[in-house]
Amino acid sequence: MYKHLSSITLAILIASLSSLGAQDFEAMFQERLKSVVVVEFFVETEEDRWSVDVNGIVVDDDGLIQLQDNALPAWIPVEQLKEFKVFQPGNLDEHDAEYLGQDRVFGWHYVRVLDEELKRSLISVTSYPIAELKTGSALWGIGLAAKGLDFTPYFMRSEVATIQPMPNEIGFCTFDISSPGSVVFDLDGNFAGWGANPLNFDRVFTIEGRRFKGQIAKTDETSTFFVATDLVGSFGNPPESVEVIDWAWSGLLGLGPLDDEVSELMGLRGESAITVSEILENGPADRAGIEDRDIIVSLNGESFKRYIPRHIVVSAFERQLKQLNVGDQVSVGVLRGQERLELELILEEHPTLVRQAERTYFEKLGLTLREFLLLDRVTLNVREGDQNSDGVIVSFVKTNSFAQTAGLASGDLIQEIDGNLISDYSSAVELVSEILADEDRKDFVVLVRRGAETSVLRINLK
């Protein structure tokens, strides 16, 4: 009923706008405020707890909120994100919400409003027509003040300076246009975009006659936005569950862009290309016959666009792969020396992410142990089949704890506990639990690997 009403209001508004010559923004502003919310949650780690406020947009009629990929800290396991709440602009009434997970292609996070009444008072951005933008198009957006100022919304106005593929279409404005994560419209009230990250600006500071160079960025307002026409396909795709990571994976490691001069020198004539540093052994790319130091020049027969800056070609390529499913086959064109090859790559399941890894916190030691993942193996350069190639990762060490006093540090790989080789996570947890259960124990000994070196450390228990 309400929704029906709102779309009528919308029609009237749009009609009135054109007749008013886009002067009366008040009504339009009040209406479109219903498409933006503030999401608040707590991050609760072993030692700390802090709150995060981020802006999000309403993307369906059932209280689905979309947040940007950097809205949640990527390394924090989902179970450490607590108490999701939703606020409306200018209102400190909090409403319960639930975290739904992350979209695999674009990385957007999703939160669902649980309060039925609030759901009904929200308007999805998808209910507005999409604005067609040109250089110079006049835009307005919504700024949101901090919590201490009741998230008060305010009007902002600017024009399109340029639009660039990065690989998302990003609009750059002549001045700040909205708060990051808030909404941008054209003068007719058509949905124009979603406030993106504020830019870093090189600035020179002169303090008492001394010059300092630095970079400066706002945190509350931005001049960039995700262009709505490009966003349309990416609205409202929450994963089936928070735990599901059904990302497809190539097993290509250390991708980088190729410079123009280098590309010329390699005879690529200005083609955009991607270098491959490493191939995961027995991974999908390895099976496809791709080798380290191959230069990727095409995907499914299509060569890559030239982006500004050039390195965007890598994220564009990764984006293309993310859109595919596990088991999909793609044809990868590579340059190997003078030879051009077309190799068939079958995508496989993405290995477990660090934030999904199993972990246990041992309060008495001030130590969190976590599963040793395939991705850790890659980062730490521990090859399977190496002597001592397994272990368990130290993911947290509390300040002045027994673990820290012994010399353990976050990121260490524990390979032996009391002389026992650690072959998997659960046996490590079991061993440590047994040690801690024994009240007579004064200490235990671990063998730790850090970089190319190892060390025997004694951890006191008393």
Q: Which parts of this chain interact with other proteins (CB under 8 A)? A: 254, 256, 258-259, 261-262, 264-266, 275-278, 292-293, 337, 381, 387-388, 407, 416, 418-419, 443-445, 447-448, 450-458
Of the pair 70, 389, the CB lying nearest other proteins is at 389
Are 348 and 284 spatial neighbours (Cβ–Cβ below 8 Å)?
A: yes
Closer CB to other proteins, residue 105 or residue 266?
A: 266
Closest to 414 measured CA to CA, from 437, 441, 382? 382
Residue 79 phi, psi (nearest 5): -70, -10
Cα 66 to Cα 110, 136, 146, 417, distances in angstroms: 5, 28, 19, 45
Pick the closer one to other proteins by CB: 214 or 451.
Answer: 451
Smallest distance, other proteins to C-beta of residue 362, A: 19
- Smaller CB separation from other proteins, 234 or 454: 454
3-state secondary structure of 167: coil
Query: What is the closest distance, in whole angstroms, from the C-beta atom of residue 461 to other proteins in the complex?
Result: 13
Q: Of 56, 128, 127, 48, give the one whose Cα is nearest residue 87.
A: 56
Classified as helix, coil or strand, 112 is strand
41 is written with which tokens? 């949650």
CA 243/CA 100 separation, integer angstroms: 9
Q: How far is the CB of 437 from other proteins (least distance, A)?
A: 19
Minimum distance from CB of 406 to other proteins (Å)? 9
What stretches of 22-172 show up as alpha helix (H) in DSSP?
26-32, 116-121
CB of 202 to other proteins, least distance (A): 18
Measured distance between the N- and C-terminal CA atoms of the chain, rounded to whole angstroms: 67
List the Cα angle 347/352/357 in 5-degree steps.
Answer: 175
- Tell me whether residue 48 or residue 202 sits nearer to other proteins (CB atom): 202
Question: ∠335-336-341 over CA atoms, to 5°?
Answer: 60
Smallest distance from the beta carbon of 259 to other proteins, in angstroms? 7
CA atoms of 318 and 250, how far apart (whole Å) = 9
The nearest distance, CB 308 to other proteins, in angstroms, is: 17
Which CB sits closer to other proteins, 77 or 256?
256
Q: Would you say 148 or 337 has its CB closer to other proteins? A: 337
CB-wise, 45 or 277, nearer to other proteins?
A: 277
Residue type, 173: C
Least separation in angstroms between CB 449 and other proteins: 8
Q: Using CA atoms of 132, 133, 137, 140 in order, give the dihedral in degrees to the nearest 10.
A: 80
In the chain, what is the greatest distance between 2 CA atoms, to the nearest angstrom?
Answer: 85
